[in-house]
Amino acid sequence: MNKDNSNMQMDPALALRLLADGAVLAIAGVPLGTEFGIDLCAYTIGPDFRGVKMIPPGVHYVWCASRGPYGDAAPRVGFVHFFHPNEILVREWDNELEELRPRQTADPVLERERIRKNLAQLERVLAPYDYRYVCQWKDLTGSVTESCVIRCQPELGTIRTNIELQSCADADRPRGGTDNISKRNTAAKLLLDESEMLPCLKPVEGTAPRFCTVPKRVPQNSPPADVSRHAIDCIAAVDLLFENFDNNPDALIEELQLAFVFFLVGYSVESLDHWRKLLALLAHSETAVGKYKLAFMKYSEVLAHQLPHLPEELMAPTMHNTVFKDVRELLVNLYAGGLMVSAERLIKRLAKHLNWHFEGLLDEDPEEQPVVIELPQGEVNWTS
């Protein structure tokens, strides 16, 4: 995220063209000192700020964070919108919720036309979109379409750092069995997974991003003979994932990009979790790389632009970092699946921007080598 208060230099002819074709975001009533951001740039609201002009067509993320009397900032609250050329979008400040909301007016169309007619007079209170970071933003969101934005954004439109949760009704809580076996199984499950002991909560309707459901690598109730097969190569789960998108790789890439910017700009915890689940699934199938080559070529390009923006705690190049570990496994499968060029391009970019190196990448994993068991002297193992 960039917070740059220096002046942006732009060719006057280019500025005129961008002013003619770009969209406008008009905002009203935002308190002085509020943090405001659009895409990769953050600012502080001043007395003569009423919005942003020259916004390039495409998807953009807008957010605000109110400030307390002692300078402490509240969590970011924002929305995503797909701007069209010359579009005028109007938002106003909600004093109670401390966030931007759609303008409450009887005739929004008339208001937008009035703004358009008076745009020349309003230019002095509209900040120009900062084109110094437009290439980075295009790299992160270049595949996202308007239909993807509509499908994935929360139903109520507002994106928060953490979604709002509410307790489930008692009747909705899962019930255990009454026999001794069920009780023993429940107790064992609680010992193995402490999250089962947490209160049963669910998102407040309309507040959560609407991403696809990520299939589990090992399907539930798989027979023991299939557990190892699914764990080594989760092609069955990847097939289910692509079925969610009607076998359209571009739709999956769009959602991957949108989920990442929900986290990068809006600090959405749920979006980061979704992005990591997708990485953990797509990284662990050599068969899927060969089957969906075009999708994995695009995915490697997407990761090359996303990974340098990771938070510091996810940048350590160690096997304790699950993101690094999954990327390493993905690279192995890219090589094995015939996408050597994509793998090498990703390796070079990660070495340059993150100082990630993958020594012994194609060496055989000791954990996957056969185990030799020495039998006691005099004992013979007969096989038919």
HEC per residue, 79-134: EEEEECCCCEEEEEEECCCCEEEECCCCCHHHHHHHHHHCHHHHHHHCEECCHHHH
What the chain holds in terms of domains, given with CATH numbers, is 12-141 (2.60.34.20), 215-354 (1.25.40.550)
CB 154 within 8 A of CB 210: yes
**pLDDT for 1:** 45
Give residue for tokens 């951001």. Answer: 37
CA–CA gap between residue 315 and residue 332 (Å, rounded):
19
**pLDDT for 91:** 95
CA–CA gap between residue 59 and residue 146 (Å, rounded):
7
**pLDDT for 179:** 45
CA–CA gap between residue 32 and residue 25 (Å, rounded):
18
**What region, left, alpha or beta, does residue 378 occupy, with left being phi > 0 and alpha being psi -120 to 50 degrees?**
left
Smallest CA-to-CA distance from 82 within 154, 146, 152 is with 146
CA–CA gap between residue 264 and residue 161 (Å, rounded):
11
pTM confidence score = 0.83
What values do phi and psi take at 59, rounded to 5? -85, 135
Q: What is the DSSP letter of 67?
A: B
Local structure of 70: helix, strand or coil: coil
**pLDDT for 176:** 47
CA–CA gap between residue 63 and residue 76 (Å, rounded):
6
> What parts of the chain have a pLDDT lower than 50?
1, 175-181, 184, 188-192, 194, 366, 369, 382-384
Residue 384 token pair: 């038919």
CB 42 within 8 A of CB 1: yes
**pLDDT for 357:** 92
Length of the chain: 384
CB 73 within 8 A of CB 66: yes
Which residues on neighbouring strands pair with residue 37, listed in sequence order? 42, 63
